[in-house]
Amino acid sequence: MTDFDLIIVGGGLVGASLAVGLAARGQRVAVIEAVERSADHQPSYDDRTLVINAASLNILDNLGLLPADLARTPIRHIRISRAGGLGHLELDADDYEQDQFGAVIVARELGNVLLEAMTSSPGIRTFCPARLQGFEVHADRVEVTLEDGHSISTALLVGADGNRSRVRELAGLTCQQHDYRQSAMIFNIRPRHAPAHTAWERFTAEGPLALLPQPRGRLGVVWIEQSERIDQALNWSDEELCQRLKTRFGTGLGDFSKPGRRSRYPLVCQRTPWPVAERVMVVGNAANAVHPVSAQGFNLGLRDVGGLIDAIDGTSDPGEREVLHDYARARQSDQESTVRYTDTLARAFTNPSLVASLASGLGLAAHAGFPGLSRRLVRSAMGFREPVCTLARHPRVSP
C-alpha cells in the first residue's frame, strides 16, 4: 500500500484546488510546496486580478471554494477594440441569456480560501517548505524523494509546479515553448468614471491592455509590452503611469488616479501535447502556459482539475495507465485549442504588417456582425468547450 493515493508537487492555485477536490472524494493527498504556506508569500497568491469565467466559477463553487464573503465582481459587459485599426466588439451577458460571463477575483483572496480549505481537510497532508529531489517509478507506485531526504510513495504523481516544472522535466515530457519577449505589468487604479461590471480589452501596436472591474470602483490593469519597456514602466512616477495609461487606452474613462503596487510577469507560451507518463502527469502551467490575452490561463488549469477528478472518480488506482490516457485524450482538444487561440491573438494583434492589421480587424468585425460566430466565441471564452467536466456543468445548489 502506498503512503498516498496522489502526491501533488506545487501548492499554488491549481495544485491547491486539485488537492481540495480530490480529498473531498476520499483520496489520500499529499502536497509538496516549496514556499511557506501564507497567502502573503505564496507566489501565485498575489495581487493579480483573476478573471474567473463561468465554467470555472462552477468548478470553484462545486469544490466549496466560493464562500459568500469572498469578494468578487461580476463581468456582465465586455468591450473589445483595436487602437488605430478596424474592428470593435461589444458583448453583453443579457444577449446570451447569461447573468454574467464570469467574475473578477483577486488571487490573494482566493488563496486565503484555498489555504483554509487545505488546512481544514483531514485528507490532505502538506510538506512545506519542501522541494522535490527526484522520483522513481515502479509498476504499482512512485517513490518520491524530497531534498531533505524524506521519502514517500504514491499511486500517482501530479506536477502542478508551474512553467519550469521539475516534474515535467524529470518525467521527460516533451514541451513546446515560445518566449514572447513580453511581460505583463499588473496593478490597480481608480478611473474618473467607469460603467459597472464592465471589462475592456484594448489591442495596441505595443501589446494588449486589459482593464477589469474591481470592488469600490477600482480597475485591475493588465498592461502587456516588450519586457524591457515594462522594466522602464515599473520606475515611472504615479503621475506618468496614469497619463500614459490614458494615452494608451483612450479618453473613454476620463483621468486615472491612485495606482496601486506594480508587479511584473514574463510571458511565455508552453504546450505539452501529451501531459502523462507512467504514473506521472502535469496540469496547469506545468502542462500548458498561455498568453494572458483573453484571460484563459487559470481557467484552463481549473478545467484540468475538473477533468482529472472525472477521470479518477470511481477508480481504485488513480495512476493506472488507462485512467491517465483517458484524461489526456479528454483534455487534448481543449488544451490545444486554448493554446492556439491565445497564441494567435497575441501574435496577430501586435503584428505591424498591413495584412495582419486588416485580418485581425476583420476578425473582430466578423464576430460583431454574425451572431453565430460571437456565440461560439462567448461559449468557448466562458469555459464550456466540449467535453465539459462534471464540476463545470452547473453551480452547486445550496441545501
Q: Are 209 and 223 in contact (CB under 8 A)?
A: yes
For 38, the grid coordinates are: 501564507
Map grid coordinates 454574467 to a residue: 100
| Closest C-alpha to 285, from 274, 270, 273 | 270
pLDDT for residue 395:
86
Q: What are phi and psi of 107, to 5 degrees?
A: -55, -40
Element (H, E) at 247: helix 238-249
Give the three-state DSSP class for 7: strand
What the block records as the C-alpha cell of 231 is 522594466
The whole-number pLDDT of residue 87 equals 61
Confidence (pLDDT) at 352: 47
CA 340/CA 385 separation, integer angstroms: 14
pLDDT in the model for residue 362: 42
Residue 362: what residue type?
L
Contact between 213 and 206 under an 8 Å Cβ cutoff? The reply is no
At 23 the pLDDT is 98
Angle at 22 between CA 34 and CA 108, to 5 degrees: 50
Is there a contact between 270 and 163 (Cβ–Cβ < 8 Å)? yes
User: Which domains, from first to last, does the chain contain?
Assistant: 4-70+107-177+268-354+361-393 (3.50.50.60)
Spell out the per-residue pLDDT of the chain, length 399, in tens: 789 999 999 999 999 999 999 999 999 999 999 988 654 544 444 567 899 999 999 999 999 999 999 999 999 999 988 876 656 788 899 988 999 999 999 999 999 999 999 999 999 999 999 999 999 999 999 999 999 999 999 999 999 999 999 999 999 999 999 999 999 999 999 999 999 999 999 988 888 899 999 988 999 999 999 999 999 999 999 999 999 999 999 989 999 999 999 999 999 999 999 999 999 999 999 999 999 887 889 999 999 999 999 999 999 999 999 999 999 999 999 999 999 988 887 876 554 444 344 444 444 444 445 455 567 778 888 999 999 999 999 988 554
Strand, helix or coil for residue 132: strand
- State residue 29's pLDDT score: 98
**Residue that has been written with the C-alpha cell 495582419 in this structure:** 356
pLDDT at position 349? 57
Looking at residue 266, its pLDDT comes to 94
Q: Provide the β-strand partners of residue 257.
A: 190
Residue pair 171/277 in contact by the 8 Å Cβ criterion = yes
Are 31 and 128 spatial neighbours (Cβ–Cβ below 8 Å)?
yes
- CA end-to-end span of the chain: 37
